[in-house]
Amino acid sequence: MLILGIESSCDDTSIALIDASARGFKILAEKTASQIEVHKKYGGVVPEIAGRCHAEQILPLIEKVMKPFDSAQGKPDIIAVTSGPGLITGLMVGVEAAKTLSYLWNIPVVAVNHIDGHIHSVEIQNSKKQKTNNIKYPCLAGRQAISNIQYPALALIASGGHTELIYIKKENHYKKIGTTLDDAAGECFDKVAKLLGFDYPGGPKISKFAETGNPQAIKFPRPMLDKNNFDFSFAGLKTSALYWLSDNSPKTYHLKPKTLTDFCASFEQAIIDVLVGKTLKAAGKYQPKTIIMGGGVAANKKLRETLKEQTNTLIPNSLFLIPQFAYAMDNAAMIAVAGYYHAIKKDFTPWQKLKADPEWEITR
Ligand code: KG4
Ligand code: ZN
């Protein structure tokens, strides 16, 4: 089954073509246009500008991804498009493109929840280029992906827009058991990075400086960690970082190199302790066979190592799955993979009814 994935919920326009079957997935082609350079000067994503950039990028990217198919007069079997949650300005562009192509090619559409995509990003594991055995398009090489989530599963999705714990009893049955009450983990990284004068998105820069710092140097709070639920809150941590900077480097927030690395390491450690602590607490209650971590913050090296180590120690029989670095960030391949599981159940949305839903909750 050839699936064209479309993702435009935030600041990446991404298109991917995958070949999906019960044996696994092959990414045949993928193109992503990042808007980071455009939003950098505003210190965050500006929705109106994001919408315009998606509108400019989406058709050229689809054309590039589909190019090798022109001669074969080919078309995908299915379109999988992120329909929510996310920025309405971006979602609408992807959804309108999906509707148009569905009408034009007369093929069905799967509306994919963005969080569903991040969950399935962990199934794109082996990035080695492999020869395809696609009968229709034998010329194409693909990247192999394997399906290996065992249910029940527990997923921590942490990104710039989301921090959620999701219990997945079986495929496509999601229950949100925890969420952030204010800022998302990536948003907290980005806002504190902005105070330090780093460009958007600042999460990767903080984690780079953190590598050589002392994570015990500054005692930042671990919000909600001792609460008897699976919710998060990062606004207080952001405020304590601000107060610490105001006390220690008034006006400029300019830190000496050693203090900067210690600040970054201590701040990063506070976020990691909360994310890992809450995930393990949820795992204790729900006893999942697989623990999944996805979303942009899942690209954080120390977070990956810590959660892996602690899962292996405390819940040794469970499978721990994280995406490859490239697939932790928003991408269309994960949307196509998530779309596959709906397509095999014929869970399609007629193009006339397809709508962007910025508040779409994954729980059903
Ligand atoms: O999933 P994603 O690409 O977009 C959203 O759906 O938000 O995630 C982007 C977020 C940004 O907040 C970025 O700062 C954060 O992921 N991020 C990181 C790291 N790499 C990306 N945060 C901490 N450490 C990193 N290494
Ligand atoms: Zn995302």
CA of 186 to the centre of ligand 1 (A): 5
Do residues 96 and 164 share a domain? no
Do residues 316 and 190 share a domain? yes
Q: Is residue 92 in a domain?
A: yes
3-state SS, the chain, equals: CEEEEEECCCCEEEEEEEEEECCEEEEEEEEEEECHHHHHCCCCCCHHHHHHHHHHHHHHHHHHHHHHHCCCCCCCCEEEEEEECCCHHHHHHHHHHHHHHHHHHCCCEEEEEHHHHHHHHHHCCCCCEEECCCCCCCCCEEEEECCCCCCCEEEEEECCCCEEEEEEEECCEEEEEEEECCCCHHHHHHHHHHHCCCCCCCHHHHHHHHCCCCCCCCCCCCCCCCCCCCCECCHHHHHHHHHHHHHHCCCCCCCCHHHHHHHHHHHHHHHHHHHHHHHHHHHHHHCCCEEEEECHHHHCHHHHHHHHHHHHHHCCCCEEECCCHHHHCCCHHHHHHHHHHHHCCCCCCCCCCCCCCCCCCCCC
Do residues 138 and 228 share a domain? no
* Contact (CB, 8 A) for 150 and 138: no
Strands laid side by side in the 290-294 sheet: 173-179, 163-170, 153-158, 290-294, 319-321
Measure the CA dihedral 346/86/65/35, to 10°.
Answer: 180
Residue nearest atom 8 of ligand 1, based on CA coordinates: 296
CA of 313 to the centre of ligand 1 (A): 27
**Is the minimum distance from the CB of 178 to ligand 1 under 6 angstroms?**
no
Give residue-wise pLDDT tens across range 89-118: 999 999 999 999 999 999 999 999 999 999
CA of 98 to the centre of ligand 2 (A): 19
Range of the domain at 304: 153-323
* Per-residue pLDDT at 135: 42
Cα–Cα distance for residue pair 116/149, rounded to 1 Å: 13
Do residues 159 and 252 share a domain? yes
The phi and psi torsions of 91 (rounded to 5 degrees) equal: -55, -40
Do residues 225 and 345 share a domain? no
- Domain CATH number, residue 317: 3.30.420.40
**Is the minimum distance from the CB of 160 to ligand 1 under 6 angstroms?**
yes
CA of 37 to the centre of ligand 2 (A): 18
Closest ligand 1 atom to Cα of 118 = 1
Do residues 144 and 226 share a domain? no
Cα–Cα distance for residue pair 268/266, rounded to 1 Å: 6
Distances (CA, A) of 236 to 196, 199, 206: 17, 22, 18
Q: Is residue 42 in a domain?
A: yes
* Per-residue pLDDT at 72: 60
**Is the minimum distance from the CB of 295 to ligand 1 under 6 angstroms?**
yes
Q: Is residue 307 in a domain?
A: yes
Residue nearest atom 2 of ligand 1, based on CA coordinates: 296
Do residues 195 and 283 share a domain? yes
Do residues 110 and 173 share a domain? no
Q: Is residue 299 in a domain?
A: yes
Closest ligand 1 atom to Cα of 9 = 6
Q: Is residue 361 in a domain?
A: no
Per-residue pLDDT of the chain (364 residues; tens, 9 = 90+): 999 999 999 999 999 999 998 888 889 999 999 999 999 989 889 999 999 999 999 999 999 999 887 666 679 999 999 999 999 999 999 999 999 999 999 999 999 999 999 999 999 876 454 544 444 443 344 555 565 799 999 999 999 999 999 999 999 999 999 999 999 999 999 999 999 999 999 999 999 999 999 999 999 999 999 999 999 999 999 999 999 999 998 777 788 899 999 999 999 999 999 999 999 999 999 999 999 999 999 999 999 999 999 999 999 999 999 999 999 999 999 999 999 999 999 999 999 999 999 999 998 6
CA of 45 to the centre of ligand 2 (A): 13
* Contact (CB, 8 A) for 2 and 18: yes
In terms of Cα–Cα distance, which of 113, 92, 126 is closest to 157? 113
Do residues 211 and 347 share a domain? no
Mutational test site, ligand 1, from 156, 297, 306, max ligand atoms within 8 Å of CB? 297
CA of 225 to the centre of ligand 2 (A): 24
Cα–Cα distance for residue pair 55/209, rounded to 1 Å: 36
Q: Is residue 364 in a domain?
A: no
Do residues 303 and 262 share a domain? yes
Structural domain count of the chain = 2
Residue nearest atom 20 of ligand 1, based on CA coordinates: 204
How crowded is the C-beta side of 61, counted as CA atoms within 13 Å? 27
Q: Which residues pair with 15 in a beta bridge?
A: 6, 31
Q: Is residue 358 in a domain?
A: no
Closest ligand 1 atom to Cα of 303 = 24
